[in-house]
Amino acid sequence: GDSVTQMEGPVTLSEEAFLTINCTYTATGYPSLFWYVQYPGEGLQLLLKATKADDKGSNKGFEATYRKETTSFHLEKGSVQVSDSAVYFCALSPGTASKLTFGTGTRLQVTL
């Protein structure tokens, strides 16, 4: 079945550092790929998405590129802020179906 693997946390960075959170997937066909973010005490929010190979999703300085050849969707940000501290989830859905398959989440802690 479908699965998502993302790097374990916590990831601790200083403010303005470069961020990479790795995500790889296994799926049949051509899934859509997502990054969700969860701030403390809140629900998951969609951060960005990509629906086909070589698409780049971007939002709030974060970006991720759908790489079919390596089945990856790594999340990157050039300069993190303390306010980016949260848990980040990589997810996929098969085509236009509704069911989301999530990775285990990566906790990011940004310090001054």
Partner 1 sequence: NAGVMQNPRHLVRRRGQEARLRCSPMKGHSHVYWYRQLPEEGLKFMVYLQKENIIDESGMPKERFSAEFPKEGPSILRIQQVVRGDSAAYFCASSPAGGRADTQYFGPGTRLTVL
Footprint of partner 1 (CB under 8 A): 4, 32, 34, 36, 41-46, 49, 89, 91, 93, 96-105
Q: Which is nearer to partner 1, 19 or 31 (CB)?
A: 31
Q: Which is nearer to partner 1, 69 or 96 (CB)?
A: 96
d(CA 37, CA 88): 5
Which residue is associated with the tokens 């303390």?
A: 82
Spatial contact of 6 and 104, defined as CB atoms under 8 Å apart? yes
State the nearest-atom distance from the C-beta of 60 to partner 1, in Å: 16
Spatial contact of 2 and 31, defined as CB atoms under 8 Å apart? yes
51, 78, 97 from 64: Cα distances, Å: 12, 12, 21
Q: Which is nearer to partner 1, 18 or 30 (CB)?
A: 30
State the nearest-atom distance from the C-beta of 15 to partner 1, in Å: 27
Q: Which is nearer to partner 1, 84 or 88 (CB)?
A: 88
Which residue is associated with the tokens 């285990």?
A: 104
State the nearest-atom distance from the C-beta of 68 to partner 1, in Å: 18
Q: Which two tokens stand for residue 53?
A: 């190979």
State the nearest-atom distance from the C-beta of 19 to partner 1, in Å: 20
